[in-house]
Structure 1
Amino acid sequence: MTALVIAEHDNATLKGSTLNTITAAAQCGGDVHVLVAGHNCGAAAQAAAQAAGVAKVLVADAAQFADGLAENVAAQALALAGDYTHILAPATAYGKNILPRVAAKLDVAQVSEITKVVSPDT
């Protein structure tokens, strides 16, 4: 069981909400991978690699990710989705713009505004 966290960042640092999401992903069990999609986002990727519980950081560093547009980030997440049992993003405007697109394309229900992970299957 492996979870993918879509990181919210400013290309230099991770947002605190991403760290909370990483913690929730770890509570789902298994490895936690973090997707850092941005442009010139090496510092944010390095910060993700240093976050507690992160097993792997995936970096999508390209001009089309510079503004964090949901269409582009969702497409990248969808390209990776087959390798993950859970896909998570912060409960912010950023995450709420990306995850519905991902869930719709995967034909799965989205669970929003999680306050606690009781078990990986609920």
Structure 2
Amino acid sequence: MTPYKRRSFLGLFLALAARVSYAALPIESKKPLPENIKGWSPDWLIGTSLDLISETNDLQMRFGESGIVSVTAGPKGGPWAAPLFPWRIENKKLFIGDSTQPSDGLEFVSMTGTKLRVRSKGKEVVYEVSR
């Protein structure tokens, strides 16, 4: 297989994988976010998208009922990957993937309007929350 064909195949595969990962995610009809959110809860996470506010990276997480989150990630402008990961809440932290290390969890800091502040590995990051 020539390098051109391999790149074309990889591009087609990534495009299909992104579509399949979103199609496989069972998300309910969009209800409004509850007010006064004070921490992580499946009640408000299921059916919610978190979009990282960053000048250099794109990261979107869409949470489904079945304990699966679709993560679309990559540098601004692409290329992106869109894998599916398990998610869980443990000791007031949100964990994406299979990690059991406390430092890998996202710690809820605050939510004002649609802006969510979390602490990840000691750094504070901001997400736009939508449904």
TM-score, normalization: structure 1? Answer: 0.31
Greater strand proportion:
2
The structure whose RCO (Cα within 8 Å, separation 6+) is larger is 1
Which is higher, the Rg of structure 1 or of structure 2?
Answer: 2
